[in-house]
Structure 1
Amino acid sequence: MSVGDFRLLYFKTVDDYGNKLEVDLLDDKKKYEGLLTTLIIGPNGTRKSTLLSLMTDVFRELDDLKALRRDRTPKVYFEMVYKINDNEYSVENNIKGIYFFCNKKQIYIEKLELPQRVLAVSYMVNDKFVFNKLDDKENGGKEIYRYLGVRQASNITFINTIVRNIIDRIIKNSSDQLFLKRLKIILEFLDIKGDLEICFEPKRRKNLFESGITNKDIKILTNRMSNQASFRSDKIKNFSENDLLEISNFINTTSNQRNLIATKNSVSLCYNINLHHFNENTNLIHDYPIIQKLISLDYILTPTLRFKSENQIFDFEGTSSGEKHFLFTMLSIASEIKNSSVIFMDEPELSLHPNWQIKYISCLKKIFKDYSSCHVIIATHSHFMLSDLEAFSSSIVSLRKKTDNSIDSILHDENTFGWSVEDILYNIFGVITTRNLFVAKEVDAILEKISKGEDLIEDDIKKLIYIKKNMNENDPLNGVLKIILGRFDK
């Protein structure tokens, strides 16, 4: 598969009830630079999350079809257009069959280029993305689709696994200099200073690393746990004699060569994560597979992440939900992104302070500036995010429900970078706020026309009706609008 700039241009689908959803995501005539972001906005009920889910499903099913992991075409009818470098690909799936095109010429699926990765990112427990295990061995991990959400099964989520997931990604990538560079930017955004420390506390025996353990004890425990009905039993059944010997050697010998820290209740095994010199993190990477076996056997608790500065030490468990959300999201992307990827993010503003929402896009682009060939598509309700969009690397799509319940989409050409909140709410979201400066200007312009004796055109009347319909009844400007519109009702 060749690697080039990936750009998703257009998507259309029809649901089971014949409702059409058609979206232009980019201006094909416009030249974009850097990591590309598309923000999809719209009121509740405009199917933003469903749209993201459908697009990920199409890419996932095309990948399966091309790799012969499935022998049937996608269930949903759709039409999609995207570019990889200078080649424009389009796929149409309708009642007659599925068709593939490259630069308007029909091709076989073997010639169809796909993005290197399709990432589905969400922090919601009820997201609409398809769940799949990243370590699923059934297909050898060759799928381009990655679910980066908080669910641990199709409809199950555990809060403690969010922390475990974050720690797991830090450990597995702690020898990657670029990953550590991105981690530093993430921590700077969160204003978290100091070093990282990952600790493993004994569970069954609080003095485990001091007193040691015998092979006989380990065998008795593995035999007992392998016969229990639990999610860990299958793993434990596959432990070999060499695995058991490795575990005892680690507890009795290797752990004493590591950093053991005494706490009130036990002695924990701790590792510092050096963000500047990745080659100093080799012990943790080497030890981690054995430590995971110790966790499966309930010898040690799931790890804890701590931040150490000159003045204090605090656990990651004590951070806010917004901090956990941001770290989880960015680390998930950082550990899975490749060049020529498409990343779908559903409402990433959840739990984030408005100041963070304003800086979100610029921070995202700073973290992943080396991935200018990727396209990030975000469904959001946050007007704050739109004020941080640079026109040369971003697009805005708004969805609106029409009277017949169909969805209308608009690809905006406004440059919202640096706009005020009120300007974005009114001009992009179509939301009227009390004493909104821009609403007042619209009404002032119409009042000036009236004072000069000029006739109001139909668009003026429609604008006044729209403003009044969406305005708070208690707004003083509402009385002015009633008087003006009253003249045209007679």
Structure 2
Amino acid sequence: MSFVPDLFIGQVISNDQLMKIFRCGRQGGMRRSLKTNTLVLITDYTDDTYLDAKPDKDDNYVWKYCGMGDNGDQNIDYKHNKTLYESNKNNEDLHLFKKEAPNSYEYIGKVLLIGEPKRIKDPNKNRKLLIFPLEPVGNTQDITDFLNNIGFKILLKEEIIDGSTNYLAAKKYDAILKLMVANKVDTLIGSDGWFFNSKGYFYNQYSKDGWGKIQDIEDKKNLFIGQNKYINPYFSASLVYSEQDNSNNMEDENKMGKFRLRTLNFKSYNVNYKIDFYNKDQELSGKGKFYTTLILGPNGTGKSIVLSTIQKIFLDMYLLSISRKENHAKDIEYELIYTIGENKFKLLKENGKPTFYKNDLKVSLKEIVLPKRVISCAFNIEDRFSTTSAKVLEEYQYLGLKNKKFKYLLENLTSNIIDAVLTDNKFLNDLKNVTEFLGFGPELKIRLPFKGNNSLEDMRNNNYVTKLLTNANEKSIVAADIIAFWKKYRTYNLVDPNNKTINYIENGLEIFFDFSRSADYEEMYEDFDEIKKQIKLGVFRIPDIEMKKNGKWFSIEGSSSGEFQYMSTMINILTKIKSKSLILIDEPETSLHPNWQYKYMSVLDKIFKEYNECQFVMATHSHFMVSDLKNESSSLIELKSKSNELVISKNINESVYGRSAEDILYEVFNMPTSRNYYIGKDLDEVLQAISLDRVNDDIRDKAHKLFSMINYLKESDPLKELIMVIYKKVTDIV
């Protein structure tokens, strides 16, 4: 959902008010905020550095906004020029202000980029400027809702719908414009940035040029080309097609309640899987906590396949919802059922075609509410999860090791921490739960040592930095920005060396985060963004992340593999989690000491206690983790191979919380251990029942359980022969 500022068109505010409303930085004509997912644009008529022109009649009252860059030709890839240029595709909200007096910012409103930026000559310097055409959005409406509200008969009469195909007919764009005016709609919006406004400007990722003005384009098909599948509610093959219009009955997904998986049936590698994720006698409420499902089963039963299939199904749904082609679960036939609050959703794919259901009624994809985010985690370089880039899709986040080097892990962790600090005020407070579990203090340092022979003097030398950028073929950074950054922080440190978040250290840089000061960092976006770009540029060596332990700073690179795995996983999840997220973790016990495994679930409860609308699903072999699972907020399922072509799940209904390791191994994993008390107890009960001729169904179940363990016993073990004799005796008694 887009951020809506508490402002009216024409309202004048101060710079401090602007910062507070949009949670952005203090300076600059383009100010980005991750917290509000906005790019604030300020057209400044008090400074002639940039050539911002006021809207005029000759140019259809379009706002002409000058790009970033003080020196040389302005580059489309430079800093927020690129953010602005890709704003439609990336669903980045643009908000425009004009400044005509010091500390006075008049709100123009939310705007859209309506065309390719023009290159013009700078009248003050020998260079070229980028001029971005912007148009206020005004009153907006979703295109599918608009078409539903107009109705099929009127659309057919006006020839907006082709009667033979039910396709939208772009050649009748003028009829659409008249209906927009009649319904007081300034801009129609669709998925993946598609829009069409009352002046005829449009954006369509599938059109030849991407955007333009429909009146000026010869081929009018560019308006709707490739979009009928995603926005046309009267086209039967459309993902928004519904036999009845439910647009007025759609609920606010933010108020719907908790996300919970129910069942999954699918076929993979010629094996059918039938999985129940919950105990049917359990309400799945979790009593105010997030819900956890542990998946058990011998190797080869498909625990990892189940996790990756869930991930791939939702990833494809996310892609379809933004008008992208799905291809991750394309060869899988499936039925996935989940609930959000009181609503039940079913995603079904048969014969290659997806269909959607809400509360057992067939609906369009638009009426399906998906988890806010799916996060997949693994500490195995050969995991089965998809690795789609977060730049393509924010809703899916891959936090694994596949095809990654250790250097990437630390760089990625550093970037995630910085982004989370800028995005969510709760992040550092939640991170404190992780550090407390590990015995660390509520502080964090990121040290960035220069790479090779780089030095402070080099980073302030124009020739050196220019060569560095040329070798890296980097266009999003200019030498002047790098030089200004290092001059700025060297000066700050000399004036006040003890009270800065970003500090110059000998041969590098240091970032210090105090977990109690999260609100202080949001205005530092531009500086943090500069650091991230210099990391990618190769200015620094591998980042060094440090925590404080027993009053001394401690590098996590020197920690044990278990400490590093646990810390990096928890921090990464914290940087990405949202309400109603689904978190999939494959073998979380990897490298963890048994003590940590034993406390894993309870610490997870503490770390993510604010995310009670989420669900964690984990595949594990750890009996210690099972014994830390609380029955009222979890389910425990075991995968069983019924044949070479069928895997089913069995819900383990009894409470396992707090039970001993031997008890869990025997009762849950069907695994005997030497001198196991519980095996002896069952043997005694079965032998006594045989001797007293009191064999009943309960005794037979115990005998079957004992018999299921013989494959784990050595041939020389006398217990194996005893169990076989007992089993034969019990099964012979009718």
For this structure pair, what is the TM-score category when the shorter chain's length is used for normalisation?
0.7 to 0.9
Q: What is the alpha-carbon distance in structure 2 between the residues aligned to residue 177 and residue 184 of structure 1? A: 13
Change (3 A) 1:437 1:320: same
Change (3 A) 1:200 1:482: closer
Counterpart for residue 257 of structure 1? 492
Matches within 5 A, 1:152-171: 156-171=403-418
Q: What is the alpha-carbon distance in structure 2 between the residues aligned to residue 307 and residue 488 of structure 1? A: 60
User: CA offset at residue 120 of structure 1?
Assistant: 1.1
Q: What letter matches 1:14 in structure 2?
A: K
Q: Any idea what SS the aligned residue of 1:362 has?
A: helix
Q: TM-score normalized by structure 2?
A: 0.59
Matches within 5 A, 1:146-225: 146-151=397-402, 156-175=403-422, 176-193=424-441, 195-205=443-453, 208-209=455-456, 213-223=460-470, 225=471
Counterpart for residue 712 of structure 2? 470
Q: Any idea what SS the aligned residue of 2:670 has?
A: coil
Gaps spanning 5+ residues in structure 2: where?
A: 1-251, 498-502
Higher mean C-alpha displacement, 418-427 vs 371-380: 418-427
Q: What letter matches 2:405 in structure 1?
A: F
Q: Any idea what SS the aligned residue of 1:402 has?
A: strand
Asked if 1:480 corresponds to 2:722, the answer is yes
Matches within 5 A, 1:232-381: 233=473, 236-239=474-477, 243-258=478-493, 259=497, 266-281=506-521, 285-308=525-548, 311-381=551-621
Work out which structure has the larger RCO, using CA pairs closer than 8 Å and 6 or more positions apart in sequence.
1
Change (3 A) 1:7 1:309: closer
Q: Any idea what SS the aligned residue of 1:306 has?
A: strand
Aligned residue among 104, 111, 116 for 2:367:
111
Counterpart for residue 123 of structure 1? 379
Report how many residues are paired.
464
Q: What is the alpha-carbon distance in structure 2 between the residues aligned to residue 255 and residue 370 of structure 1? A: 40
Q: Check conservation: 1:9, 1:27, Cα contact below 8 A.
A: no
User: CA offset at residue 389 of structure 1?
Assistant: 1.0
Q: Check conservation: 1:218, 1:244, Cα contact below 8 A.
A: yes
Q: Check conservation: 1:271, 1:284, Cα contact below 8 A.
A: no
Q: What is the alpha-carbon distance in structure 2 between the residues aligned to residue 335 and residue 320 of structure 1? A: 22
Q: What letter matches 2:298 in structure 1?
A: P
Deviations 1:385-432 (A, max 9, x none): 111111110001100223445313101211111111111112111112
Q: What is the alpha-carbon distance in structure 2 between the residues aligned to residue 15 and residue 295 of structure 1? A: 41
Q: Any idea what SS the aligned residue of 1:200 has?
A: strand
Change (3 A) 1:250 1:479: same
Change (3 A) 1:461 1:257: closer
Change (3 A) 1:297 1:16: closer
Change (3 A) 1:463 1:293: closer
RMSD of equivalent CA atoms:
2.7
Deviations 1:325-380 (A, max 9, x none): 11111111111111111111111110101111111111112111111111111111
User: CA offset at residue 177 of structure 1?
Assistant: 3.2
Q: Any idea what SS the aligned residue of 2:415 has?
A: helix
Q: Any idea what SS the aligned residue of 1:174 has?
A: helix
Larger radius of gyration: 2
Counterpart for residue 282 of structure 2? 30
Q: Any idea what SS the aligned residue of 2:708 has?
A: helix
User: CA offset at residue 482 of structure 1?
Assistant: 5.1
User: CA offset at residue 267 of structure 1?
Assistant: 3.5
Change (3 A) 1:244 1:429: same
User: CA offset at residue 80 of structure 1?
Assistant: 1.2
Deviations 1:299-318 (A, max 9, x none): 33232122345653332210
Q: Check conservation: 1:166, 1:327, Cα contact below 8 A.
A: no
Q: Any idea what SS the aligned residue of 1:171 has?
A: helix
Deviations 1:262-286 (A, max 9, x none): 6xxx433223211112245468754
Q: Any idea what SS the aligned residue of 2:585 has?
A: strand
* Identity within the alignment, %: 31
Q: What is the alpha-carbon distance in structure 2 between the residues aligned to residue 484 and residue 302 of structure 1? A: 62
Counterpart for residue 333 of structure 2? 77
Q: TM-score normalized by structure 1?
A: 0.87
Q: What is the alpha-carbon distance in structure 2 between the residues aligned to residue 158 and residue 103 of structure 1? A: 45
Change (3 A) 1:272 1:284: farther
Q: What is the alpha-carbon distance in structure 1 between the residues aligned to residue 577 and residue 484 of structure 2? A: 37
Q: Any idea what SS the aligned residue of 1:271 has?
A: strand
Q: What is the alpha-carbon distance in structure 1 between the residues aligned to residue 358 and residue 485 of structure 2? A: 56
Q: What letter matches 1:79 in structure 2?
A: E
Q: What letter matches 1:197 in structure 2?
A: K
Deviations 1:32-73 (A, max 9, x none): 221000000000000000111111111111222232212789
Counterpart for residue 144 of structure 1? 395
Change (3 A) 1:464 1:304: closer
